Amino acid sequence: MIPMKNSFVFAATGTSKVATLYNNGIIIVYTMVTPNFTNNSTSQLSIQDEDGVTIYTGAAHNESGTYVVTGLAIPCDRQYTATITISTDAGGTGGTVVAKLFLKQQE
């Protein structure tokens, strides 16, 4: 299993951050740790393919939480991206959402 950890740093304004995924395989689990944003914001993970088509959208997770999502089978390629979208501007000094994707290498 290959873990890929990304920190998505939000300023007081702005609701979307993107990271390139640099491994091939199948995403089978992800974890997400959400901060206590000044504005009550939920955080949502989505995965886009190399053409920018969203191939996965996860549930919106409340702030100040640690989440584990299992039972996934999302294809992943080195050209894919992960996006964290928050429901409203973070406010205050912003905050960091940490997402870790766990990939199973394709056989």
**pLDDT tens digits for 47-105?**
999 999 999 999 999 999 999 999 999 999 999 999 999 999 999 999 999 999 999 98
CATH number of this structure's domain 2-104: 2.60.120.380
User: How far is residue 99's CA from residue 101's CA, in Å, rounded to a whole number?
Assistant: 7
CB 77 within 8 A of CB 50: yes
Longest dimension (CA), the chain: 46
- Is the pLDDT at 46 greater than 90, yes or no? yes
The Cα–Cα gap between 107 and 79 comes to: 19
